[in-house]
Amino acid sequence: MQEISKNIDLKACLAGNRKEQFRLYEKYKVRCFGICLRYARNHQEAEDILQEGFLKVFKVLHQYSGKGSFEGWLRSIMVRTALMHIRKYRAKEMLTVELDEIKINKIPDPDMIKRQKNGDHIIYLIQQLPVLYQSIFNLRAIEEYSFKEIGELLNMNETTVRSYYFRARKALQKSYSELRIEQQ
C-alpha cells in the first residue's frame, strides 16, 4: 500500500478515515465521472455509476497491491462498475439493438454546442449509441481493450465485437462530422 500523493494516504482510506476517503474522491472524481458519463445515458445515470464505483473502490481497496498505477486500477473498477450497472438496469435495451442503422440524436440545445468543449460533444454522441455499441466503443477506442478482451468481458464472440465496434465508430464519425458542420 502506498501514498498516491502527498495528500492522500491509502492506508488511512482503507482504515475508514473519511477525510482521506474524501480527498481521494475529490482527486479522482472528475476523471472517473468522465468514464461514467461515457457508459451512461445521461448525467444522472453517470452519477449513479460514480457512486457505485466509489463505494466499490473503498470496499475493495485492500485488493490494490500497490503495483502499477492506482489510477489505472481505479479506472478499471469504474469501467467494470459501469458495465455491471448496464447489465443490471439496461439489459432489456441490449436486446433491442438496431443492427442496420445506428441513429444518433443531434444535440438538442444549440447553445450547448457553444457552451461546451469538444469532449462534452463527443461524450454526448457516445451516449446516444445503443448501449452495446456504446460499451464496445468505449472499451475499444478509449480504454483500448483488445477485441478479445472485450469479447471475454462481455461474453461475446470476438467477431461480433469487432463488427459492433466498426459500426459504432462509423456512426460516431458521421454524426461528429455533421455536428462540426452545424458548429460552423
Question: Which residues ranging from 34 to 53 are in contact with another protein (CB under 8 A)?
Answer: 34, 37-38, 43, 46-47, 50-51
Q: How distant, in Å, are the alpha carbons of 24, 26, 45, 49, 56 from that of 19?
A: 9, 10, 26, 22, 17
Within 10 A of 31 (CB to CB), how many other CB atoms are there? Answer: 12
CA distance 37 to 25: 16
Number of residues counted as binding another protein (CB under 8 A)? 72
Q: Does 80 bind another protein (CB under 8 A)?
A: yes
**Residue in 70, 73, 175, 179 binding another protein, rule: CB under 8 A:** 73
Among positions 90-129, residues that touch another protein (CB under 8 A) are 91-92, 94-95, 99-100, 116-123
Angle at 49 between CA 73 and CA 100, to 5 degrees: 100
Which of the ranges 1-9, 89-97, 103-111 carries the binding residues for another protein, by CB under 8 A?
Answer: 89-97
d(CA 8, CA 57): 15
- Residue 1 interacts with another protein (CB under 8 A): yes or no: no
Of the candidates 63, 96, 111, 181, which one interacts with another protein according to CB under 8 A? 63
Distance CA(118)–CA(17), nearest Å, equals: 37
Q: Build a one-symbol-per-residue string for 7-26: x at contacts with another protein by CB under 8 A, - elsewhere.
A: ---------xxxx-xx--xx
> CB-hemisphere CA count at 13 Å for 109?
6
Reduced to 3 states (helix: H, G, I; strand: E, B; else coil), residue 154 is: helix
Q: Closest separation between CB of residue 169 and another protein, Å? A: 7
* 13's grid cell: 482510506
Among 1, 14, 83, 113, binds another protein (CB under 8 A): 83
Residues numbered 124-163 forming contacts with another protein, rule: CB under 8 A: 132, 141-142, 144, 149, 152-157, 159-160, 162-163
